Structure 1
């Protein structure tokens, strides 16, 4: 996975070469400031802004998205700085040494997968687009159309009766199959599976 590099830049506020840690911190603070203007920066430079993909780690499981998502969860402005930790020989440190470093510095380590699970569990990712009562050969069902807030794809839930938290619900997750469900293709049993599920639910 490649980073979505926008450009490299240097701040006119930086005094010096821009290479030192002090110069880079000054530059990062200027980039993060809401008061900064384009004329405050020169191109090229030693800081590399990256473009965040809307939707964060739920759309792209990258370091850029994970960093901004964490900043949003923390509360301040959605601005983050990525910095790779390197070994004495200049190579990127692997997870075992990262754990040692984190323990020594009293830091926490999380993975992008952890962040994805957290967001999926706590965020509302769909919205109700439409609902209608549909008479079928198996009886009347209530159809609910939900639209994904991430990609706009719509999913339909066919519901029979009342749903409550204190009872087990018979559920069938059915993948869309135009040829099998609509045209009754003999090359798959998708239509038969759907019919059997609807009959059992009814």
Structure 2
């Protein structure tokens, strides 16, 4: 299932959702709004306001009417400038929400928990004139580290908060708070429609933000193309795409004519030296060569080899198989290849891939690599 395909509830209530351009304008005016994600992700709505506009009244509204955890989304660069360590060394949360240690303004606060104190902490954290010396830890504001590349890399409220603030011309940071109902359960989209009317707030979706940015932003560029011959599958066209956020090069191998109609056989593969070269770790050895041979036998298809900007050479996984993948950069590359319908080569057909429809992509089926070999 792809993240941008509206679920049945969202489709039914589409008329209550504002275009993302209106949400950006709300942010530009310093007004609060609601951002919701897909029914198959966190399935929640957050109150969002650009951090520059997050005064004591806004913080108090979130605490009173949002009831969730009040957090501050910050770009990775600012997290590094403030020297804030991550809350967990190994993030095993389902959606990899990147909490740092909690913070407080070092000067001008009393207990730190009041709406005014938290607003001052937010203002201090986003002030470019302030440094790590102006921040104390722990505190009562919870920073979240946004991924470089925003919602095109990770489709979360953290990245969305930074993206909308930036697109509105503000410092790329927002204060966000999950919306809970009075009984303590999470408010879902049907609840949020009435909630938004009561409080005169507009509702936007992260899906629409991804689509907006995919139309207007470009994070990957093709930097090389050549013909290569491999032991696995013979002749390929090799194209290199560079991620402008990190400067990382990703490799695409193309077999045959992928411009003709019909689904294209595709293997997306996260390169990892320990697994792919040494056979270490939980991934079965031989997946990549076998996938290349299967595509060669088909006579038409694509292998996408994605590289992480930084990772340990060997880091054992202890969280079990992943069931949700954020696919922003990969989707951009596949879209640039002119692909639309994909038939995936995978031994994990239950995996959910997020963030495809905004790029005109859909998964129409899967084929095994090693399980039926």
Tell me the TM-score normalised to structure 2 length: 0.41
Q: Does 1:100 align with 2:191?
A: no
| Partner deviation per Cα, 1:137-187 (whole Å, 9 max, x = no partner) | xxxxxx572405266322256898xxxxxxxx63574425744755xxxxx
Alpha carbons of 1:152 and 1:112: their partners in 2 closer, same or farther (altered >3 Å)?
A: farther
- Paired residue for 2:116? 22
Alpha carbons of 1:129 and 1:98: their partners in 2 closer, same or farther (altered >3 Å)?
A: same
CA RMSD of aligned residues (A): 3.3
Which of 193, 196, 201 is the matching residue for 2:298? 193
Matches within 5 A, 1:1-202: 1-132=95-226, 145-149=239-243, 152-156=249-253, 170=260, 173-175=264-266, 178-179=289-290, 188=294, 190-194=295-299
Alpha carbons of 1:89 and 1:14: their partners in 2 closer, same or farther (altered >3 Å)?
A: farther
The residue matched to 2:139 in structure 1 has which SS? strand
| Partner deviation per Cα, 1:80-113 (whole Å, 9 max, x = no partner) | 1112233334544332222222223332212222
The residue matched to 2:174 in structure 1 has which SS? coil
d(CA) in 1 for partners of 2:162 and 2:98? Answer: 14
Gaps of 5+ in 2: 1-94, 229-236, 268-287, 302-373
| Partner deviation per Cα, 1:46-80 (whole Å, 9 max, x = no partner) | 01111111222222222211111212222222111
Is the Cα contact below 8 Å between 1:71 and 1:77 reproduced in 2? yes
Q: Which has the larger radius of gyration?
A: 1
Cα distance, 1:4 vs structure 2: 1.0
The residue matched to 1:65 in structure 2 has which SS? helix
d(CA) in 2 for partners of 1:44 and 1:2? Answer: 21
Is the Cα contact below 8 Å between 2:105 and 2:135 reproduced in 1? yes
Aligned pair count?
177
d(CA) in 1 for partners of 2:203 and 2:240? Answer: 35
